[in-house]
Structure 1
Amino acid sequence: MKKTNPNCPISSTIDILSDFWTMHIVYNLQDNSKRFCDLEKSLEGISTRTLTLKLKKLQEEKMLEKNNDGSYELTDKGHGLKTVIDAMRKYGEKYLI
């Protein structure tokens, strides 16, 4: 994930959330852990390669972790995005859809 201005908290958050698939992966993991195949099924249109790369990047960013059973779950840092994603969803429902 690019770092446009690492000293700006808004810019740093946008860097993480600006990727389409990253947002959807984090959203899909908000309530429980999921295995790779379950994520792939729930993220219609994502390629296996893209999902693999995005999961790896999110692990590097410490947004999620891979459990011993092969499932992925959000870390506290990843769960911290829940309010941001929920606010974006509510905004979209109210003003864009």
Structure 2
Amino acid sequence: MGDLDYVRTAVALACLYGPEDIKLFINDYNLEYDWDASGNKKLENLIKWIERWEADDVTKIDGIGTQMHISCYADPDQQNKRKELIKKSFELMAATGKQVRISELDIT
């Protein structure tokens, strides 16, 4: 079905057969993790995909769900880096105007 049509079809079917007040979330894990030097690249790409899916002016995604698997570090520099990545991820999600949900959380 392709990258665009799969999600658009899933959203259309959920709206057709789900309850009238259905809220649809894209849910993914490690959105707060530093996959690259700039940080939060996975989340930035997810947000771009949401924009692509919704570009048809029919598909509507209500929110972003994040499965957070975070760690605490004894090294203060590493701990502060992680805290900033988490903070930035919530700022990025909030900036979309979508609802934000922590769908899973574990801390080690």
Asked if TM exceeds 0.5, the reply is no
Please say which structure displays the higher CA radius of gyration.
2
Return the structure number with greater relative CO, CA threshold 8 A, min gap 6. Answer: 2
TM-score of the aligned structures, taking structure 1 as reference length = 0.28
Report the TM-score, using the length of structure 2 for normalisation: 0.26
More strand by share: 2
